[in-house]
Amino acid sequence: MIKIDFNDLLDNYNTNLLDNLRGFGSNEEYLKFYVPGTSAIKSFYNLIDALFEGHQLEFLIYYKKDSFEKKTIEDMDFFLKKVGFVEKITNEKLVNLKIKIKKNFYKKFQTEKKPTIKEINSKKINLNKNDTKEEILIFKSEQGLNKPYSEDIHKIVANDYYSKETISNESLFSGIINNYEINFIIENKIITKIFHNCENDKSLKKLLNIFCDICINKNIQEAAEHSVIYLEEKIRLEGNHLIKTGIILPSHAGAYFDDLNIFIRKLFNEYAKKNLIKFGINKNYFKKSYYWINLDEKVKLEKINFIIREIANKHNLGDQSVIAQTIDNNFRVNLGVDKSFKILQEKKNILLEIEIKLKKLDNTLEVFIDEQLDKNKLRIKNSPQTKLLN
């Protein structure tokens, strides 16, 4: 049975969602249907809707006592009585709601809660009124570089882009990061030269050097859209550990990442405006390397399975628990997994760990589970999907 901490869901919605964007079939599948409302009760209604859409009809929701107003709790109780069976258990700290949704009750309630034509005419209900918030709070770190980024950044070798030179060039675009100037020369949409004057702040200087390494010789649109994302990932992966088992927003790495994101996007807009260029869809993202494309498929599978075996051994899984069976279009790695892997995957996101490690072979690689691994060796041997494993 799914157990949901309603307080935690309200407080950490953005983080929980990002952790499960590539959750590979976790128990929190319902999150893809859930969005918070503008109040606790609207968020509660939306949560029940999300669980129902995710075909979860029995679950437990708990919250801290005294965390909601009396009216909110009364509305919760009334709502739940309309849509199914509820057992409410209260102890010193928590209120536990054991809920079983009845499909016919819930569908009836959904129909009843829609206003009738008579109600619309008599009460002048505005059907187009949106559930809006007057203010959206955006996370902003209090530190320029959060730990462990401030520790891991010095492990990276980067070119030095520090310079005191001042130049006059119609292709020069400049901005300020923490009172230091950073300059880009952009010619025919390509960033051809970068330099900054940050000398005394060692951490920021190193961050800017790594950022410049990522941006140099890139299309300005690609740099604007992805450079800060690549910067965060590069530093995080250098530490050889995951801070979160999911996708991480650069803003959670420190305020400098937000500043760089604002800076590079502003430069992109200035460049487009000055040169009267209307950019279309960005087609300059990571492309498959020629080295990877030209490798024999059997060699690709051998390299992939070598990495997978290392990860499997690390988590005490057998050699046959997870195997790369095929590769589609040079990037889609189709895995066969057994029951022991699936059990562990529910506790730890091993698939995400595998995908991150595989990107060291080629940045475009992604992992997918097609079906449960067939333990019959004869059938595996003769299967066209696994013939390259021999």
Is the pLDDT reported for residue 177 higher than 60? yes
Summarised one tens digit per residue, pLDDT across range 79-133 is: 888 888 888 999 888 999 999 988 888 877 776 654 444 444 454 445 455 555 5
pLDDT tens-digit profile of 312-364? 999 999 888 999 999 887 888 999 999 899 888 888 888 888 988 888 888 78
pLDDT of 132 reads 53
Residues of the chain with CATH 3.30.300: 290-389
Query: How much is the pTM?
Result: 0.48
Most confident of 9-13, 21-25, 366-370: 366-370
pLDDT at 220: 93
Tokens matching residue 131: 């559930």
Q: Tell me the HSE value of 103 on the side-chain side, using a 13 A CA sphere.
A: 4
CA neighbor of 64 nearest in space, from 82, 90, 37: 90
AA identity, residue 366: E
Assigned CATH topology for domain 149-274: Sufe protein. Chain: A (3.90.1010)
Q: Among 23-27, 287-291, 378-382, name the most confident range.
A: 287-291
Confidence grade of residue 382 (pLDDT, cut at 50, 70, 90): very low
Assess contact for 334 and 368: CB atoms under 8 A.
yes
Task: Name the segment(s) of the chain with CATH classification 3.90.1010.
Answer: 149-274
Question: CA-to-CA distance for 326 and 341, rounded, in angstroms?
Answer: 18
Judge whether residue 237 has pLDDT over 80. no
Rounded to an integer, the average pLDDT of 240-256 is 66
pLDDT of residue 284: 66
Q: Two tokens at 280?
A: 């279309």
**Residue bearing the bigger pLDDT, 276 or 244:** 276
What's the confidence (pLDDT) of residue 140? 65
Kindly state the tokens that stand for 274: 């000055």
Pick the CATH number of 290-389 from 3.40.50, 3.30.300, 1.10.10, 3.30.1360: 3.30.300
For residues 219 and 375, which has the higher predicted lDDT (pLDDT)? Answer: 219
